Amino acid sequence: MHGSFMVAEKPGERIKEMMTERGWSQAELAYVLGVPAATVNQLVNSKRPITPEIAKLLSLAFDHPAESFVDMQSRWSLQNTPEPDGEVRTRALAQSAYPLRAMAKRGWIKSAAEGANSHAELCRFFGVNTLENLATIGHAAKKSTEGELTGEQVVWLYRVRKIAREMVTPNYDPSKLREAIEALEQLRGDPEAVRYVPRLLNKAGVRFVVVEALPGSKIDGVCLWLDRNSPVIGLSLRFDRIDNFWFVLRHECAHVLHGHGQDGAILDADLDGDVSASINEEERIANTEAADFCVPAQQMTSFYMRKRPFFAEREVMAFAKRVGVHPGLVVGQLQRKMDRYDFLRKHLVNVRNFLAGAMMMDGWGDTVPVD
């Protein structure tokens, strides 16, 4: 039996050896097999492959397993077949590593169905000559997936960055961002007021980008920097609820204010107002500031301790009015504290449509035009 690294034997040469052992001529073998003499001539000269049908005839003629003839032919054919296009491996890696169908559906790349080269389209999307040159985007954040970023997460981050590069803002000014956050505090009571967020952040030099999450990415937000004077906040609005919107937005603002993510994008996934879920100091700071922004922590704690375990809706509404926030922000924190996500859900109103009236968002049927 031939080893995997041995030169394969010509099938015709083996047939010749068997004929010699029996003293048969080509004409005699043709007679035994019941095939034309030309067929045997082509077989012994390896100009005709041994098909399964021929293998069974040879098996009967030489009392030898048919599988051995098929195996011999397969090894010889494989060894003498030209090497395939090396791009096959590249295309396979691209297909398995990145959500090509979802990207094409969103209009980010052209699809294979349109005759496009997937590897070339990915390189164009990422701005590289080859995927091996794809720069790693650092991350230090609360992620639901362990280890490296998934292909969906990498693609989403690059899309946010690509859109941000097309935006024009003044240089970042931390003092103006603090002023913007103070202005944002006055908007927490009205869901429609989220439409002012893009303008306030832009004045502070912060690029604000909204890109719908890709299926399975579980991304809520990101903080990244195009350069030291150009921070970017990206949101996915994966949970279209007023409490989640303000928490994630203020969380990313905290990252920017503290200069987090300047050495690599900070990705936040499964970020839903759970302050106790911090995994590092940067996240602890951002979570704490975000929760305190949504509902002042000291007042929230006092209200919770006084009223638990029963929270009447009218009391929740009165407390929200007293601290100047929408009831949904209070409900969101109470749900997590009580581990009761059915509690007063009607107050967790949607905000995406209000925001869509003030900015271009990438997703939900629309694609932001970028080079």
> Residue 234 is inside which H or E element, if any?
strand 230-235
- Among 3-12, 80-89, 135-144, 150-159, the minimum mean pLDDT is found in 135-144
DSSP line for 190-201: -GGGGGGHHHHH
Could you tell me how far CA 243 lies from the centroid of its own chain? Answer: 25
- What are the residue ranges spanned by the domains of the chain? 11-79, 89-133, 137-371
Are 265 and 138 contacting, i.e. CB atoms less than 8 angstroms apart? yes
Q: Under DSSP, is residue 334 helix (H, G, I), strand (E, B) or coil?
A: helix
Using a cut of 0.85, tell me whether the model's pTM lies above it: no
Residue 205: per-residue pLDDT: 97
- Give residue 41's region: left, alpha or beta (phi > 0; psi -120 to 50): alpha
pLDDT tens, residue by residue, 104-163: 999 999 987 787 888 888 989 998 887 776 655 444 334 433 447 888 999 999 999 999
Triad 93, 95, 101: Cα angle to 5°: 160
Q: Which residues pair with 366 in a beta bridge?
A: 363
Residue 279: per-residue pLDDT: 67
pLDDT tens, residue by residue, 189-222: 999 999 999 999 999 999 999 999 999 888 999 9
Nearest CA-CA partner of 185 in 325, 342, 355:
325
Q: Which residues pair with 231 in a beta bridge?
A: 225
Triad 195, 197, 203: Cα angle to 5°: 130
Class of the CATH domain delimited by 11-79: mainly alpha
Of residues 313 and 278, the one with the higher pLDDT is: 313
Q: Which residues pair with 211 in a beta bridge?
A: 362
DSSP line for 283-299: HHHHHHHHHHHHS-HHH
Strands 266-269 and 219-227: antiparallel
